[in-house]
Structure 1
Amino acid sequence: MPTMRRDAAGILLRDVEVHPHGARADCRIRRGRVAQIGHELRPAPGELVIGGDGGALLPGLADHHLHLTATAARETSLDVSALSRGELAAALAGADPGEDGWVRVVGHDEVAHGDLHRDTLDACRGSVPMRLQHRSGALWSVNSAGLARLGADHASHAGIERDREGRPTGRLWRADRWLRDVLDARPPSLRSLGARLAALGLTHVADATPDATAAEAAFAAVRGGELPQYVMVMAEGAGAPRHPRLSVGPVKVVVTDHELPDLDDLTGRIARAHAVGRAVAVHCVSRVALALTLAALDQAGVCDGDRVEHGAVVDPATAKELARRGVRVVTQPTLVALHGDDYWQRAEPCDRVDLWRYGTLVRAGVRVAPSSDAPYGDLDPWACLRAAAGRHTPSGRVLGPDERLPARDVLRGMLAPLDDPGGPPRRIAVGSAADLVLLDRPLTDALRAPHARHVRATLIAGQLVYCADGRD
C-alpha cells in the first residue's frame, strides 16, 4: 500500500502506549504532525479514528543501510541461496528468462555452489544469456551468451576478469553500473517494495548504493508516489533532491579486499567528500580494510557523521579507536543469522572472535546503528531485533555471546535519525513529525518475541500508509 491515504481532517489514535514514556493516551495527528496527546480526546468531524487497545506507538523505524533497486530487482530474480550444487544446475537449466531475455539469478555462494565462470555456466545452459549475482553483491558470473550480449571481449571495464590469454572468465567485479549502462536497463519499480517497508513499520531508509543512477531512481520513486518513505541516498554526485522526504547523506566509499585502494587515493576521496560538506560511509569487511580506512581518516581528518559500513572484523582495541575518533558503525545482525556459520568457517582463526561485533562496540562508546543490507540481509527489522539479541547462526551456534544486545537497545538504533545513526532516538511529542508505527500490543510484550505481525498501522508525514485491517 505505497500510496498515502489523505486524511484532511486528521487521524486520532485511541488508547495507545506512547513511546518512550509508556503512558496510555490518545494521540491526534494533524497536518503531518502530532497535534495533541491526552486522555479521552473527542473525535473531530471527519477524523479517522484508529483504536490502539493499549498497543505501543513508536516513531517509525529506520533502516540505516539497504539497497532499494537491488531489493526490488530481487523480487523478479531466481533465488538459489537455498539450493545445493546439483539443484543449482537443474534450476539454471529450467529457468525462464525475463522480458529482457536474460535469466537473472541471485544468491550464488561459492561454498555451496562452487566457483562459477563462463564454462561452468555454459555446461548448465549456454544458449540463453544468464547472469548470477554473488550473495555479497560484489560479483556477477555470466555465461558465454551473456558475455557476447555485453560485448565483454572488447570492453575495457576494469571489473571484467580475464584469463592469461585475455579471454573474459565470466566473472564481473563491482560492475553494476557498467551492466546497467550496457544493457540500458530501466530501474525496477519500487512500488511493491514501498508497501513491504510500510508493512514492516519502516518509515525511513538509507540507500547505500554508491552510484548516482540508483539515487535518481529513488528520487523518482519518492516524487512519483511509488515510495512513501523518507529516503537518504549515499551516492557520490547525487543531485539536489528538492523533496521533503528526500535527503543526501554521506558519500559511500567501497574499500574492496580483492583490490585495496592506495592510501593516498582513499584519503583523497574522503577529503573531497568533506570539502563539499558530506561525511563518508566506508564499506569495510576485513581487518585490513578497516585499518586502511582509519589511516585515511587520520590523514583527511574526521568529519561529524563519518561512518563504517559493516565492520565485519573489529577487535576491542580498534573499537576504542573508532570511539575516540567519533566514527560510527552501521552493522547488520541478520547477516549473522543468515550466514554466520559460513563466516566462521571462512574466517582466519585469529578473526573469529572479532566477527560482527555489536555489544563490544556499544560498550566502547561507538555510536552503532543496526540495518538490513537488503537484499543481502533480511529486510525485516523485527528479524534484526531477534538476531541481535540471540546471535544464533543457522546451525544454532551462538556467534559471540558477548555481542548480544537486548532488543530494546537495538530498537533505539532503529529510531535514530538517518543523518545520525546511533544517535538519540526520535521521540513522540506534540509538534513532532507524525512518522509513526502502531503495534498491536505493549512494547514490553512485543520485544519478548519481536515479529512483523505486531505492526498494526504505519503513518508517514501524518498519512496512513499501512493498516493491518485492510484500510487503504
Structure 2
Amino acid sequence: MTEFAGTSRDRTAKAPPRGTPTTLARVRLGSGGPLARVRVADGTVTHVVAEREDPGAAGLAAGDRVLDLDGRVLLPGLWDAHVHLAEWAGARRRLDLSATSSAREVADRVREHGRTAPAGPVLFGYGFRDGLWSDAPHKDLLDAVLPDRPVALVSADLHAIWLNSACLALAGRGDHPTGLVREHEAHVILSALPEAPDEVVDGWVADACRAAAARGVTGVIDFQFGDTVGAWERRSADRPPAVRVAAAVYPAHLDAALERGLRTGSPIGPHGELVRVGPLKLFTDGSLNTRTALCHDPYPGLEDTGEAYGIEQTPPDELVRLMRRAAAHGVEPAVHAIGDRANTVALDAFEAVRCRGRIEHAQLLSPEDLPRFAELDVVAGVQPRHATDDRDVADRHWAGRTARAFAYADLLAAGARLEFGSDAPVSPLDPWLAVASAVSRTDDGRDAWHPEQRLPVPAALAAAARGRRLIRVGDPADLVVVDADPLTADPDTLRAMPVHATLTDGRWTHGPY
C-alpha cells in the first residue's frame, strides 16, 4: 500500500461551539478608525459602540466574555474569492518549481528530488513558468533524469502539465510527442493520475484552511476542478472548516446539481451556515503563460499558426446556453476570461442572458469593456499577485497593450466591483499579498509596473473582504484582528501583516482565544 503523509480526519470530533457572547474592547474600528467595543453573539455582530460611551451601551450582560485588544485594528474578515483548495493543499507538499528559469533547471531539480522523495505512484511537481524560457519542456529531458518513475509537473497557471514517458504511459497517452499537454487535455490527464485517498486529501485541505485562517481569511470560493460540491459534503460531515466555503459547480456536474434543486447559496451538509454552493465555472479561453488567452491581437512569433490569437474554450453560443440554463435555476455563472477578446465574449454573454455573475481574472481588457462590468452587474474576480508575477511575460506577449492589463484602477473608476483572490496554487493563499500587490504594483524591488493602476489601501481592503468596508450591527461575526494599521503600513508590512486573531461565524479560528 502506498503511504501518504498527511492529517486524517477525526470522525469522532465535534463541531466547536460559537462560544459565549464576547465583547472585543479597546479595538480600533477599521484602518485609522476610533477605539470601540464590538460585541458578538450567536455568530453575529450585535453591538458596535465607541469606547468613550457608557460600557452598558455595548450590550454587556452577565457572563459575557470581555477581551481587551489593546488598540489593535479590527477589520471585516477577508476572503480568497478564487482558490483551488485541493490543488493548493497538495502543492504545499509537492516539489516547488516556482523559482526555476529553464527546462534544464527543472530537470535538474527533478533529478535531485527523485533521490530522496518518498515512494509513491507519481512524483508531482508544481509551479514552472515557461513563458520566458529559452528552452522548451520535453519528455526527453525528464526521461533522462528519472526514466522509471512517473513524473507529472503542473505549470504555475494550472493550464499545462509536463510529463515523462512513464507518466504518459500511465495516463494512456504514451504516443504524445512532447509530454507538454495544455488546457482541457491537461485537466483530463491530471484527474486520471493516482491520487491520495480522500481522507488524506481532506486532511491536507483542513490544514490549508487553518493556515488561511491564520492569515485573516474567513471565506473562500473553491474552484477546484471536479465534483467540488460532493467533496465538501464529505469534508463537512463531521465538523465545520476553519473558513466559509462556496463550492463551485462545473458543467459536468450541473445536471446533478439542478436535479437536487441546488442553487448558488444553497447550504451543503450539516454545517450549511459555513459551506454552500458557489457559482458555475465556465471557460472562454486559456492563460497568458501558455499563450492560450484569447486576444484581439496575435501573439508575437505565432502569427502564422492556428493559435496566433489564443484559443476559444467554449463557443459563444454554447456559453450563452449554459449560462442561461444555470441562471434560470438560480446558479450564478463565473466565467474564466483572461484575454481581451475573451472578456468581450464573456461580457456579451452576460448581456444576452441578463444574469448576475462573475468574470474570473479579467487580465486584459478593451477600453470599451471597462464600464460594462458595472452596467451588467458583473463582479471582476481578480488576482493582483498575478500582475506582479506576470509583468515580464505580459511585456513580451502583450507588448504595447499592458497599459490595459490588470487594470484595477480603471475598473474601479468605471464602477466595477472588485473581489480579490489568489488562484492558489497559482499564487499563495494569502490575501495580504494581493492587497500589497494592488497597492504597490511591484513585489521585487523594481519600480511599480503601470503605477497608474495602483489602488488605495481602503479600496484594496474592501476588495479583499468581498466589498465589506465597515463593521456593522447585524453583520456575520467574520472578523480579523491585526497588529498593524494597514492604512499607514508600507508594502512590506502589508505583505507580512501580523494577524493577531481571526473570528469566523463567531468562532475563533486563529489566535490565542
TM-score clears 0.5 = yes
Q: What per-residue deviation string (whole Å, max 9, x for no partner) do you get for residues 54-80 of structure 1?
A: 112122111111111111011110011
1:75 alignment partner in structure 2: 92
CA shift at 1:288, angstroms?
2.0
Q: What per-residue deviation string (whole Å, max 9, x for no partner) do you get for residues 284-314 of structure 1?
A: 1112212222333344x2202x221111111
Q: What per-residue deviation string (whole Å, max 9, x for no partner) do you get for residues 202-222 of structure 1?
A: 00111123432x333334334
CA shift at 1:7, angstroms?
6.2
Q: Does 1:461 align with 2:478?
A: no
CA 181–215 in structure 1, closer or farther in 2 if over 3 Å, else same? farther
1:24 alignment partner in structure 2: 35
Q: Does 1:430 align with 2:461?
A: no
Question: Which AA in structure 2 matches 1:105?
Answer: G
What is the count of residue pairs matched by the alignment? 447
Cα distance between partner residues in 1 of 2:85 and 2:400: 35
Q: What per-residue deviation string (whole Å, max 9, x for no partner) do you get for residues 371-428 of structure 1?
A: 2111102322112111111112646142222111111111111222xxxxxxx52642
Kept after mapping to 2: 8 A contact 1:380/1:452 = no
Question: Which AA in structure 2 matches 1:220?
Answer: R
| Alignment match of 1:368 (pick from 418, 430, 435) | 418
Question: Which AA in structure 2 matches 1:264?
Answer: D
DSSP 3-state at the match of 1:183: coil
Cα distance between partner residues in 1 of 2:215 and 2:477: 17
Cα distance between partner residues in 1 of 2:495 and 2:449: 22
Question: Which AA in structure 1 matches 2:215?
Answer: L
CA shift at 1:268, angstroms?
1.7
Kept after mapping to 1: 8 A contact 2:171/2:192 = no
Cα distance between partner residues in 1 of 2:416 and 2:327: 21
Question: Which AA in structure 2 matches 1:461?
Answer: D
Kept after mapping to 2: 8 A contact 1:231/1:246 = yes
Q: What per-residue deviation string (whole Å, max 9, x for no partner) do you get for residues 316-362 of structure 1?
A: 22212333333221111111222212221222x24222111100111
Kept after mapping to 2: 8 A contact 1:118/1:169 = yes
2:265 alignment partner in structure 1: none
Q: Does 1:142 align with 2:129?
A: no
CA shift at 1:441, angstroms?
4.0
Cα distance between partner residues in 1 of 2:37 and 2:377: 39
Kept after mapping to 2: 8 A contact 1:222/1:245 = no
Q: What per-residue deviation string (whole Å, max 9, x for no partner) do you get for residues 119-167 of structure 1?
A: 222123211100011111011111111112222249xxxxxxx45xxxx
2:368 alignment partner in structure 1: 317
Cα distance between partner residues in 1 of 2:237 and 2:134: 41
CA 460–177 in structure 1, closer or farther in 2 if over 3 Å, else same? farther
1:34 alignment partner in structure 2: 45
Q: Does 1:186 align with 2:215?
A: no
CA shift at 1:185, angstroms?
4.6
DSSP 3-state at the match of 1:190: helix
| Alignment match of 1:263 (pick from 313, 316, 335) | 316
Kept after mapping to 2: 8 A contact 1:210/1:252 = no
CA shift at 1:95, angstroms?
1.5
- TM-score scaled to structure 1, two decimals? 0.86
1:157 alignment partner in structure 2: none
CA 148–228 in structure 1, closer or farther in 2 if over 3 Å, else same? same
CA 234–378 in structure 1, closer or farther in 2 if over 3 Å, else same? same
2:391 alignment partner in structure 1: 340
CA 445–291 in structure 1, closer or farther in 2 if over 3 Å, else same? closer
2:347 alignment partner in structure 1: 294
Q: Does 1:101 align with 2:121?
A: yes
Kept after mapping to 2: 8 A contact 1:209/1:235 = no
Task: Calculate percent identity across the aligned residue pairs.
Answer: 26
Q: What per-residue deviation string (whole Å, max 9, x for no partner) do you get for residues 90-135 of structure 1?
A: 2111224455321101111213473223222212321110001111
Kept after mapping to 2: 8 A contact 1:336/1:393 = no
Which range moved further: 445-454 or 72-81?
445-454
Kept after mapping to 1: 8 A contact 2:218/2:504 = yes
CA 340–172 in structure 1, closer or farther in 2 if over 3 Å, else same? closer
| Alignment match of 1:225 (pick from 215, 239, 245) | 239
Kept after mapping to 2: 8 A contact 1:340/1:394 = no
CA 55–451 in structure 1, closer or farther in 2 if over 3 Å, else same? farther
1:171 alignment partner in structure 2: 181
Cα distance between partner residues in 2 of 1:368 and 1:425: 11
1:410 alignment partner in structure 2: 460
2:487 alignment partner in structure 1: 444
Q: What per-residue deviation string (whole Å, max 9, x for no partner) do you get for residues 178-233 of structure 1?
A: 53345255352212111111111000111123432x33333433443372211112
Cα distance between partner residues in 1 of 2:238 and 2:449: 43
- TM-score scaled to structure 2, two decimals? 0.79
| Alignment match of 1:303 (pick from 337, 355, 370) | 355
Cα distance between partner residues in 2 of 1:276 and 1:114: 48
CA shift at 1:23, angstroms?
2.8
CA shift at 1:169, angstroms?
3.8
Cα distance between partner residues in 2 of 1:447 and 1:5: 37
Kept after mapping to 1: 8 A contact 2:284/2:315 = no
Kept after mapping to 2: 8 A contact 1:7/1:48 = no
Which range moved further: 74-83 or 178-187?
178-187
Cα distance between partner residues in 1 of 2:63 and 2:18: 8
Which range moved further: 374-383 or 352-361?
374-383
Kept after mapping to 2: 8 A contact 1:64/1:205 = yes
2:296 alignment partner in structure 1: none
DSSP 3-state at the match of 2:343: helix
| Unaligned segments of structure 2, at least 5 residues | 1-6, 263-267, 286-291, 293-309
Q: Does 1:401 align with 2:401?
A: no
DSSP 3-state at the match of 1:101: coil
| Unaligned segments of structure 1, at least 5 residues | 155-161, 417-423
CA 54–113 in structure 1, closer or farther in 2 if over 3 Å, else same? farther
1:205 alignment partner in structure 2: 220
Question: Which AA in structure 2 matches 1:235?
Answer: V
CA shift at 1:461, angstroms?
1.2
DSSP 3-state at the match of 1:464: strand
